[in-house]
Amino acid sequence: MGTLLKVSNLKKSFGGVHALKDVSFDLRDGEILGLIGPNGSGKSTFVNTIAGLHQPDGGEVMLGEVNVTGLEPAIMARHGVARTFQSSRPFLNLTVLENVVIAALLHEKTTAAAETLAIECIEVAGLKDLLYAKASSLPIEKRRRLDLCRTLALKPKIIMLDECLAGLNPREMEEGLDLVRVLNKRGIAIIFIEHVMKAVVSLCHRIVVLNQGELLAEGAPADVMKNTKVIAAYLGEKYIHAGN
Amino acid sequence: MGTGIFLQTTLNGLMIGGVYALVAVGLTLIFGVMKIVNFAQGEFVMLGMYISWMLAHFAGIGPYEGLAISAVIMFLIGYLVFRLLIVRVIGKKDEEFILLTLGLSIFLQNAILMIFSADYLTVTSSMKDSALSFADLTLTLPRIIAFSVALTAVAVLTFLLQKTDTGRAMRACAESREIATVLGINPMRSFTLAFCIGIALAGIAGVLLTPMFYVYPGVGTLFNTTAFVVVVLGGMGSVPGALLGGLIIGIVESLTGSYVSLDLSQLGTFVIFLIVLFFRPSGLFGKRT
Amino acid sequence: MKNVKMIALICGAIFALGFPLVVHTSYYIHILFMVYLFAALGVGWNLIGGYGAQLSLGHSIFFAIGAYVPVLLMLNFHISPLIGGIAGIGLALLAAALIGLPCFRLRGPYFALATIAAGEITRTLLLHFQGVTGGANGLPIPFHGDDALNLQFSTKAPYYYLALTLLVVVFLLVRYLEKEKVGLYLAAIREDQDAAESLGVKTMHIKLLAFMLSAAIAAAGGQIYAFTVAYIDPDGVASINLSIEIATVVIVGGIGRLWGPVLGAAVVILLTELTNIYLGAMRSGASLGMYGLLLIIVILLRPDGLISLFDRFDPELNKKGSK
């Protein structure tokens, strides 16, 4: 598999706090990459910096042969890098269809064509019955689906999902994971940021672990889970000793 | 023009800047605690001026003697406005608050215009024409009093914010409404107090200005825009920033007025405003975000 | 329902077109002229202020440019206002771009404050450069007899039809844009700018586009106003009050709604005229005070505007964008 996104030495700090120090890794074609780490480890900062919401203080982001470091969000979306937000952010006063049409207009010239694409995406996301419902009337699970659906309508190469399962019950979580797999089967590479270990291990091909803005570990899910540094970062030193 | 005139102009600007600072401190307090911009702040300055005029006209109480009464009346007006209007848009969209206070601003202006007509009124004080001189600089007493009272009011407010529980509660609300609530602080109480104090400060500024300015219905707009500029300059929500910003704007306006053109004296202020907005929206002295 | 709407529309059209033929009192014609003018200004303002939720309080700038440019060109160089008007609109477009580019980086109250400052700068400059603009004394347009090329008519009716035409054109334009890419993108910006950006919406471009269109409409309105009243001065065409009046018309009618500004203009203008008749004779300030009062009442009681009163009769109206 070739490298789709190459992140080298990415740095970002806020008023003296180093949120990201020298983070480097690759995202390969068609892969689901898990990005995990304890609270405040820099996961969301990472997504926001790649997506162009924050300007990086240093480092480079290459999308294939194209240098996309520090491009603004709208341009990143044009380059095929889509993202969802940690807290679900649909356009609350618009209908499901309008929400998705807005995204679909990125590649479609007319609203009619965008509507066709949007309805396709809405079907994939399983929101077909809610076409004309206002986003504000949707429960959290459907809002999360709508978020995913909007990114799908951008025809992206990569989707960065920032805790897209937060607030869901176990059954909804399973259905959410299935949807992510469906998107992945369509050839979209996914950076999957999540707290819930079980979800990450079952879904991801590979995992990178961030801690305090640094890359702590990288590898296959099973290997990473056994890494003592990772356990220490998550649970504190004493658990390792207890385990021994 | 010689250095004498330059110094005199600067000094005059500094004194009036103290009053601008007072208006702006009120505005910035309201913004800091409630996260809303009161677009009618200047009209409360105007109300303060009219109250001062009425006290003098009907009761024979001079502006300085009646300062405390005026401040209390303004505090109560602030409370009334808060309960009747402001409380209903707390937590709603920014636009609603902007439009509500804009509506209030033109309503107050024109209600006063209907009651008092557009006549220019004056308030005299026995101290009006007294002045202090040293070297070849002269400062009229009203300017000195305005400056000193303004600084004192800001000092008292700073003490209140830093050293009392009420003040700490307000600062906690300024940081985060949620956290304040968790800490057992009633945000509504802090909001009410911040708003009323902010209005009272505008009123005090109005009283201090009456011996120097004509009293007329549109006089508030002058201070409205100036107060915005000062607050943005000092960093929205920062009391010391507003104080410093007020002094700077006072001086800038005074210098533009005498060295460029009197009718352009406000232009300098607006240009500074836009420059600061675009390049340091967090203010010259505010935290960078 | 559709039929009722159609009949109402036809009746409205007949009324609007026939009014000056039946009623010859120029005062009444003037009131309707003002309704159309403010409705057009409001529909234009709604583009950026309503659909895009960027609260511009500096639209007087464009109104003033639209008023001053053709008047100055005509008075000084005898250029027909038909050409001068185009120059005015061009300059307003340029001014909107120059103001929008920096101001749209600001959000919420900061944007509103910046537009107020820009408006006040414009007014101060108009007052200052007396040699050109006549300063506070303003510029009267002398009447040299009926002359369509110079927009000079001895009766009010032609101006009435000019304002009506402007309203219809602007209304149809915005009605079209509402359903198009621009309209949807503006709605996305209104709802959540960051989320819109993440979906590839170049928010700055869209806001600028809407702002410039809106400015051009304000300029066209300014020109029609200037030649109708035959007198312009900075306090009349460049004051913050004018900017607030335009916004008020939209808020009272219904912000971000196509018919909102039209209803708003009718209600606001008629109410202020009534206030003027009954109170204005005694005291000045009555009509502007009315604007303030209306703004307060609507924000407190009906933030969605008066048009929302009709929603219950017409569920279609509520389901924006649905089929």
Chain segment A14-47, per-residue pLDDT in tens: 877 888 888 898 999 999 999 988 877 888 889 9
CA B52 to chain CA centroid, nearest Å: 16
Domain boundary among B182, B215, B248: B215
Residue C1: count other Cβ atoms within 10 Å of its Cβ. 10
Q: Give A91's contacts in chain C (Cβ within 8 Å).
A: 187-188, 191-192, 195-196
Residues B106, C289: C-beta atoms closer than 8 Å = yes
Domain boundary among B215, B238, B267: B215
Is C195 in CB contact (< 8 Å) with chain A?
yes
> CB count, 10 Å around CB of B289?
7
CB contact (8 A) between residue C194 and residue A90: no
Q: Please indicate whether, in this complex, the C-beta atoms of B267 and C121 are within 8 angstroms of each other.
A: yes
Distances (CA, A) of B178 to A188, B169, B181: 39, 12, 5
Say whether C296 and B104 touch across the interface (CB within 8 A).
yes
Cβ atoms within 10 Å of A229's Cβ, excluding its own: 13
A112 and C CB contact within 8 Å: no
- Does B225 lie in the same domain as B194? no
Please, which pLDDT band fits residue C282 given cuts at 50, 70 and 90? Answer: low
**B250 and B145 within one domain:** no
B111 & B79 share domain? yes
Q: What is the distance in angstroms between the Cα of B143 and the nearest Cα belonging to chain C? A: 27
Any domain includes B128? no
C257: confidence class by pLDDT, cuts 50, 70, 90: very high
Radius of gyration of the CA atoms of chain A, in A: 18
Cα(C102)–Cα(C10) distance, integer angstroms = 44
Mean pLDDT of chain C: 90
User: CB neighbours of A128 closer than 8 A, spacing ≥ 6?
Assistant: A119, A122
Percent of chain B whose pLDDT exceeds 90: 28
- pLDDT for position B108: 94
Query: Which of B102, B105, B273 has its CB closest to that of C117?
Result: B273
Which residues have a Cβ under 8 Å from the Cβ of C185 and sit 6 or more positions away? Answer: A102, A105, C196, C201, C203, C206
Q: Has residue B147 been placed in a domain?
A: yes
pLDDT at position C249 over 80: yes
Classify residue B65: in a domain, yes or no: yes
Query: In this structure, is residue B39 part of a structural domain?
Result: yes
**pLDDT over 50 at B289, yes or no:** no
CA-nearest residue to C205 within chain A is A74
Residue A76 predicted with pLDDT over 70: yes
What share of chain B has pLDDT > 70, as a percent?
A: 94
pLDDT recorded at residue B271: 79
Residues of B with CB under 8 A from a CB of C: 36-37, 85, 88-89, 92, 94-96, 98-100, 102-114, 117-118, 217, 221, 225, 228-229, 232, 261, 263-264, 266-267, 270-271, 273-274, 277-278, 281
CA-nearest residue to C197 within chain A is A74
**Does residue A13 fall inside a structural domain?**
yes
Q: Map residue A83 onto helix, strand or coil.
A: strand
Structure tokens at B156: 């008292």
CA separation (Å) from B158 to B146, B162, B177, B193, C310?
18, 6, 21, 14, 51
pLDDT(B133) > 60: yes
Mind telling me how many Å the CA of A209 is from chain C's nearest CA? 25
Question: Are B270 and C120 in contact (CB < 8 Å)?
Answer: yes
Nearest-Cα distance to chain C for B59, in Å, is 26
Among A161-175, A180-194, C244-258, where is mean pLDDT lowest?
A161-175
pLDDT, one tens digit per residue, over C205-229 is: 999 999 999 999 999 999 999 999 9
* pLDDT tens for each residue of C121-164: 899 899 989 888 988 899 999 988 888 888 889 888 999 999 99
Given B197, B215, B233, the domain boundary residue is B215
Confidence of residue C278 (pLDDT cuts 50, 70, 90): confident
Determine contact: C196 vs chain A, CB below 8 A: yes
Report if residue B24 sits inside a domain. no
pLDDT mean over A125-129: 91
In a domain, A134, yes or no: no
Nearest to C116 among B118, B225, B263 (CB): B225
Name the minimum distance, in Å, from the CA of A4 to any CA of chain C: 20
* Closest chain A C-alpha to C242 CA, distance in angstroms: 30
Higher pLDDT, C227 or B181: C227
- pLDDT grade, residue A237 (50/70/90)? low
CA distances, C215 to each of A65, A192, C40, C157 (Å): 42, 45, 12, 26
Chain C residues in contact with A101 (beta carbon < 8 A) = 184
On the question of pLDDT at C97 being above 80, the answer is yes
Residue A140 lies in a domain: no
Q: Please give the pLDDT value at position C81.
A: 93
Residue of C297 and B177 predicted with greater confidence: C297
Domain extent for B229: 218-289
Residue-level pLDDT at A242? 44
At residue A244 the predicted structure's pLDDT band, cuts being 50, 70 and 90, is very low
- The DSSP-derived string for C144-207 is -S-BGGGTB-SSSHHHHHHHHHHHHHHHHHHHHHHHSHHHHHHHHHHH-HHHHHHTT--HHHHH
C185 vs A74: CB contact, 8 Å cut-off? no
DSSP A96-147: HHHHHHHHHTTT-SSHHHHHHHHHHHHHHTT-GGGTTSBGGGS-HHHHHHHH
Chain C touched by A113 (CB under 8 Å): no
**Is residue A147, in this structure, part of any structural domain at all?**
no
Contacts of B277 in chain C (CB under 8 A): 106, 110, 113-114, 117
CB contact under 8 A, B277 and C117: yes
The domains of chain C are located at 25-238
Is the domain of B143 the same as that of B260? Answer: no
Mean confidence (pLDDT) of chain B: 86
Residue B281 reports pLDDT greater than 70 = no
Per-residue pLDDT, B288: 42
B chain contacts of residue C127, beta-carbon cutoff 8 Å: 263
Same domain membership, residue B198 and residue B90: yes
Same domain, B103 and B225: no
B55 lies in some domain:
yes
In angstroms, the CA C162 to CA C157 distance is 9
Taking CB atoms and an 8 Å limit, are B100 and C295 in contact across chains? yes
Mean pLDDT of chain A: 88
Is it the case that residue B181 has pLDDT exceeding 90? Answer: no
Is residue C275 scored above 60 in pLDDT? yes
Angle separating helix axes B41-59 and B187-209, nearest 10 degrees: 60
Range of the domain at A207: 3-89+156-243
Indicate the DSSP class of residue A13. E
Chain A within 8 Å of C201 (Cβ-Cβ)?
yes
pLDDT greater than 50 at residue B23 = yes
Q: Are the C-beta atoms of B38 and B198 separated by less than 8 Å?
A: yes
Which ipTM did the prediction report? 0.89
Question: Which residues of chain C are within 8 Å of residue B112 when distances are taken between CB atoms?
Answer: 285
What pLDDT score does C155 carry? 87
For C303, the closest of B96, B103, B221 (CB atoms) is B96
CA distance C268 to C282: 20
In the predicted model, what is the mean pLDDT of residues C273-282?
Answer: 75
Residues B143 and B280 in one domain: no
CA torsion through residues C101, C102, C107, C110, sign: negative
Has residue A136 been placed in a domain?
Answer: no
Number of separate domains in chain A: 1
Same domain for B91 and B51, yes or no, is yes
Which are the contacts of A174, defined by CB distance < 8 A and separation ≥ 6? none
Query: How many structural domains comprise chain B?
Result: 2
Q: What is the model's pLDDT at position B213?
A: 85
Do B96 and B229 reside in the same domain of the chain? no
In angstroms, the separation between the Cα of residue C2 and the nearest Cα of chain A is 21
* Contact indicator for C130, C242 with CB cutoff of 8 Å: no
User: What CATH number should be reported for the domain holding residue A10?
Assistant: 3.40.50.300
Residue C280 has pLDDT above 70, yes or no: no
Provide the pLDDT for residue A145.
93
A102 vs C188, C194, C322: nearest CB: C188
Half-sphere exposure in the Cβ direction for C149 (13 Å, CA)? 5
Residue C320 has pLDDT above 50, yes or no: no
pLDDT band at A211 (very low <50, low <70, confident <90, very high): confident
pLDDT digits (tens, 9 = 90+) for B44-55: 999 999 999 999
pLDDT of residue A236: 60
- Say if the Cβ atoms of C192 and A103 lie within 8 Å: no
Helix count and strand count (H, E) for chain B? 11, 2
* Span A89-99, average pLDDT: 94
When scoring A47, A102, A111 by the number of chain C Cβ atoms within 10 A, the one with the most, hence best to mutate, is A102
Phi, psi of B283 (to 5 degrees): 95, 160
B88: pLDDT strictly greater than 60: yes
- Report residue B1's pLDDT band, with 50, 70 and 90 as the boundaries: low
Residue A17, strand partner residues: A14
C-alpha dihedral sign at B205, B210, B212, B215: positive
- A133 in contact with C, Cβ within 8 Å: no
Q: Binning pLDDT at 50, 70 and 90, where does residue B286 land?
A: low
